[in-house]
C-alpha cells in the first residue's frame, strides 16, 4: 500500500494505526539520517524540479505510465493524478520494496486499502506529473462502473491548475446483504425532526455524526463498513442546538432541530452531493470539522488527555473500537494522524449522550514526533480539525463470547478503555481480562482507575507486565511469550473466547503468531494496529 503523505506506514510516533482488514501491516524500515517527514517537507519546498518536466503539467497515457516502473524512474497514479515518486523513495518508512509495488500502475486501490485518509495531494504536489488520460472508447460503452472519483481538468497557466471533483457512480452492495436505510421527516411550528430508519440494530455507543454549518445539514450514520448520508441545504434557518436520540434495538435515529422562525416548511430542503446514499465508507472523502482544545491533563510522565470541544451544530458519536483523524497544517503541509477516543475516565469511557460536545484523546507525546509535538504545543482555545469516525471494528464479534482477553502494549491501551467499560455494562461476558505490557511502572496509563475497576467488578481482571521493572516491582515481568499467554489466557470448558490485541507492530505481530500457536483461530482474534 502506498502511503505518500503525512508520515508513511506506519509512523514511528503515531498511535492506533488501524488496518481495515484487521491484519498486521508491513514492517517499518530504518531511514537514513536526514530523511524524516520534516526533511521531506523541506526538500519538497526547496524549489528543485521533482518531476523532471521543468514545471510542465502533461497528460499521461497508460502506456507511458507503465514505462516508469524502476527504482530510478518511478511514477504512480492515485485517483487519476500521476506523480513522480522517485525523489520520495528514500523518505518512505515503509521501504523501497513497498513503494515499488505502486510503480508504473494506477495504485488507487492499493492506497485505499489502509491509508485513504492521508493527504497525498499536499505531500506530493511538487511531484505532480499530470492527469492520467482516459481511453475514449470506455466513455461510449456506458456499462463500466467506476469506483474512483472523476475529474475536470482546468488549466489556468502553464504550471497552475486546479481540480473540480465530481462523484462517479459507485457500485452499491446487494440489497439482500445491505438493506438501504431510509429517512423521513416531520415538523411542528417550532421544531423539525429528521428520522433515519437503519433497518438493523445500532451500536449502543452511537453511530451518528451531525454537522450543521451555514444552513447546510450533513447527517452520516455509520453502519459497519457502510454509511448512510443525508445532505441538504435546509429550507429555512434553524438554531445550532442539535439533539440526536437513538432507539438502539430497532435502529431508529431522530435528529431534532429548532426553527429560528415559527412557520411551516414546504420541504426539508434542497439535496446536495451524496444525499440519500448508502455507500462503503471508503468511497466518501473524509469530512473535517474545526474543534477547539478545551483542556489537557497529564496522564503520566509522557502522555496527555486532550479534551476537544466540537463546534455548535455538531454532534459526533464514535462507536466503540473506532477512531478519528486529527489534521493540522504544519510548515505549510497538512499532517494527519489517527487516534482512538477514550472517556474522561475509565468509568465514563462508553457513556454517551447526544448533548456531549467533547472528545477525549489519550496521546503519548514524542519529543521528536512531528504531530504529537505540535499537538502538545497547542494552548487552550487553539483549533484543530477532527474527522468523523473511521475503522471496521464491530461488537458483533462478541456474540456468545464468555471470556474476553485484551492484550495491550503502551498506548495500545486506548481502544481497550471504552471496550472494557462497555462490556462490563452489557453484562453478557463472564470475564474480561486485560494484559497490559509496559516498559516501566511510570508508563502505565490509568493504573489506579484499572485497579479500582478490578476491585469493584469481579468480572474484570488486570495483569501488569513490565519489561524494565524497578527493584521494588513485585508483579509480572518480561515480554510477551508463549508460556506467559498459555498461563494467563485460560480456555474453560464450554466457553467461547475472543482476543483483542493492540500495540506497536512488532508486539502485535508476535502476539498474534503466539496466539495462533496456542490454537486461537482467525475468527477469535482482532488486531487494532498500533
The domain limits of the chain are: 37-166, 182-283, 288-387, 395-529
What band does 332 get if pLDDT is binned at 50, 70 and 90? confident
* pLDDT for the residue numbered 117: 62
* DSSP reduced 3-state for 41: helix
Element (H, E) at 161: strand 160-166
Give mean pLDDT, residues 297-314. Answer: 96
Task: Confirm if 394 and 388 have CB atoms less than 8 A apart.
Answer: no
What band does 511 get if pLDDT is binned at 50, 70 and 90? very high
Burial string for 407-426 (b: 16+ CB within 10 Å, else e) reads: bbbbbbbbbbbbbbbbbbee
What band does 282 get if pLDDT is binned at 50, 70 and 90? confident
* pLDDT for the residue numbered 177: 57
DSSP class of residue 523 equals G
Q: Which residue has the higher pLDDT, 364 or 369?
A: 364
All three cell numbers of 188, joined, read 411542528
* pLDDT for the residue numbered 406: 98
67-81, 156-170, 302-316, 501-515: range with lowest mean pLDDT: 156-170
* pLDDT for the residue numbered 7: 35
Residue 90 exposed, middle or buried by CB count within 10 Å (0-12, 13-18, 19+): middle
Task: Confirm if 341 and 323 have CB atoms less than 8 A apart.
Answer: yes
What band does 52 get if pLDDT is binned at 50, 70 and 90? confident
Check if CATH label 3.40.50.720 holds for domain 395-529.
no
* pLDDT for the residue numbered 145: 38
| DSSP of 87-145 | GGGGG-TT-HHHHHTTTTSB-HHHHHHHHTTS-HHHHTGGGEEEEEPPPHHHHHH--PP
Give mean pLDDT, residues 13-33. Answer: 48
Alpha carbons 76 and 511: distance in angstroms, whole number: 35
How far from the centroid of its chain's Cα atoms is residue 369's Cα?
19
User: Would you say residue 458 has pLDDT above 50?
Assistant: yes
135-149, 203-217, 385-399: range with lowest mean pLDDT: 135-149
* pLDDT for the residue numbered 157: 30
All three cell numbers of 438, joined, read 509496559
Closest Cα to residue 297, out of 287, 307, 289?
Answer: 307
What band does 125 get if pLDDT is binned at 50, 70 and 90? confident
pTM: 0.72
Using H for helix, E for strand and C for coil, what is the string for 433-459?
Answer: EEEEEECCHHHCCCHHHHHHHHHHCCC
Q: Which residue has the higher pLDDT, 476 or 27?
A: 476
Half-sphere exposure of 137 (CA within 13 A, CB side): 0
What band does 135 get if pLDDT is binned at 50, 70 and 90? low
Give mean pLDDT, residues 7-33. Answer: 45
Report the chain's C-alpha Rg in angstroms. Answer: 24
* pLDDT for the residue numbered 122: 75
DSSP class of residue 339 equals E
Task: Confirm if 340 and 375 have CB atoms less than 8 A apart.
Answer: no
* DSSP reduced 3-state for 1: coil
* pLDDT for the residue numbered 30: 67
Architecture of domain 182-283: Sandwich (2.60)
Give mean pLDDT, residues 146-151. Answer: 38
Place of cell 489519550: 362
CATH dotted code for 288-387: 2.40.30.10
Report the CATH fold assignment for 37-166.
Flavocytochrome B2; Chain A, domain 1 (3.10.120)
Alpha carbons 311 and 89: distance in angstroms, whole number: 39
* pLDDT for the residue numbered 358: 93
Beta bridge partners, 195, equal 184, 254
* Distance, first Cα to last Cα, the chain: 17
Give mean pLDDT, residues 75-90. Answer: 90
Residues comprising the chain, all counted = 530
Give mean pLDDT, residues 79-94. Answer: 87
* pLDDT for the residue numbered 249: 86
Mean pLDDT of the chain: 83
All three cell numbers of 184, joined, read 423521513
Amino acid at each position: 500500500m502506498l502511503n505518500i503523505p503525512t508520515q508513511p506506514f506506519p509512523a514511528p510516533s503515531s498511535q492506533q494505526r488501524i488496518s481495515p482488514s484487521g491484519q498486521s501491516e508491513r514492517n517499518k524500515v530504518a531511514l537514513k539520517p536526514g530523511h524524516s517527514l520534516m526533511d521531506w517537507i523541506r526538500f519538497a519546498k526547496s524549489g528543485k524540479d521533482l518531476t523532471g518536466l521543468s514545471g510542465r503539467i502533461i497528460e499521461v497515457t497508460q502506456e507511458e505510465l507503465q514505462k516508469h516502473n524502476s527504482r530510478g524512474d518511478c511514477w504512480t497514479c492515485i485517483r487519476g493524478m500521476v506523480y513522480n515518486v522517485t525523489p520520495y523513495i528514500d523518505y518512505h518508512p515503509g521501504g523501497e520494496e513497498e513503494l515499488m509495488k505502486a510503480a508504473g500502475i494506477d495504485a488507487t486501490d492499493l492506497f485505499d486499502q489502509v491509508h485513504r485518509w492521508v493527504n497525498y495531494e499536499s505531500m506530493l504536489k511538487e511531484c505532480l506529473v499530470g492527469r492520467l488520460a482516459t481511453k475514449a472508447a470506455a466513455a461510449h460503452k456506458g456499462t463500466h462502473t467506476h469506483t474512483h472519483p472523476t475529474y475536470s481538468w482546468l488549466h489556468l497557466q502553464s504550471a497552475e491548475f486546479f481540480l473540480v471533483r465530481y462523484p462517479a457512480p459507485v457500485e452499491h452492495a446487494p440489497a439482500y446483504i445491505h438493506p438501504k436505510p431510509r429517512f423521513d421527516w416531520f415538523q411542528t411550528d417550532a421544531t423539525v425532526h429528521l428520522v433515519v430508519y437503519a433497518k438493523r440494530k445500532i451500536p449502543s455507543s452511537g453511530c451518528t455524526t451531525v454537522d450543521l454549518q451555514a444552513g447546510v445539514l450533513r447527517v452520516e450514520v455509520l453502519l459497519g463498513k457502510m454509511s448512510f448520508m443525508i445532505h441538504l441545504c435546509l429550507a429555512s434557518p434553524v438554531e445550532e442546538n442539535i439533539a440526536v436520540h437513538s432507539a438502539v434495538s430497532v435502529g431508529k435515529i431522530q435528529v431534532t432541530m429548532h426553527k429560528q422562525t415559527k412557520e411551516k416548511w414546504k420541504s426539508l430542503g434542497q439535496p446536495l452531493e451524496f444525499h440519500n446514499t448508502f455507500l462503503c465508507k471508503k468511497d466518501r472523502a473524509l469530512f473535517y470539522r474545526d474543534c477547539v482544545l478545551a483542556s489537557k491533563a497529564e496522564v503520566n510522565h509522557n502522555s496527555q488527555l486532550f479534551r476537544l470541544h466540537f463546534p455548535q451544530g455538531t454532534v459526533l458519536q464514535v462507536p466503540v473500537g473506532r477512531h478519528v483523524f486529527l489534521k493540522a497544517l504544519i510548515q505549510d503541509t497538512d499532517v494527519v494522524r489517527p487516534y482512538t477516543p477514550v472517556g474522561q475516565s475509565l468509568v465514563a469511557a462508553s457513556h454517551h449522550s447526544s448533548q456531549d460536545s467533547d472528545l477525549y484523546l489519550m496521546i503519548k507525546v514524542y519529543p521528536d514526533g512531528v504531530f504529537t509535538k505540535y499537538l502538545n504545543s497547542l494552548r487552550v482555545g487553539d483549533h484543530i480539525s477532527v474527522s468523523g469516525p473511521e475503522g471496521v471494528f464491530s461488537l458483533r464479534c462478541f456474540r456468545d463470547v464468555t471470556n474476553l482477553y485484551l492484550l495491550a502494549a503502551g498506548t495500545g491501551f486506548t481502544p481497550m478503555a471504552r471496550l472494557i467499560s462497555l462490556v462490563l455494562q452489557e453484562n453478557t461476558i463472564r470475564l474480561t481480562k486485560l494484559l497490559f505490557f509496559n516498559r516501566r511502572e511510570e508508563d502505565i496509563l490509568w493504573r489506579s482507575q484499572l485497579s479500582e475497576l478490578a476491585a469493584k467488578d469481579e468480572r474484570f481482571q488486570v495483569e501488569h507486565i513490565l519489561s524494565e521493572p524497578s527493584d521494588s516491582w513485585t508483579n509480572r515481568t518480561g515480554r510477551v511469550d508463549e508460556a506467559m499467554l498459555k498461563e494467563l489466557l485460560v480456555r474453560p470448558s464450554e466457553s467461547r473466547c475472543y482476543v483483542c490485541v493492540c500495540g506497536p507492530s512488532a508486539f502485535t505481530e508476535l502476539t498474534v503468531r503466539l496466539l495462533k500457536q496456542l490454537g486461537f483461530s482467525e475468527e477469535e482474534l482482532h488486531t487494532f494496529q498500533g
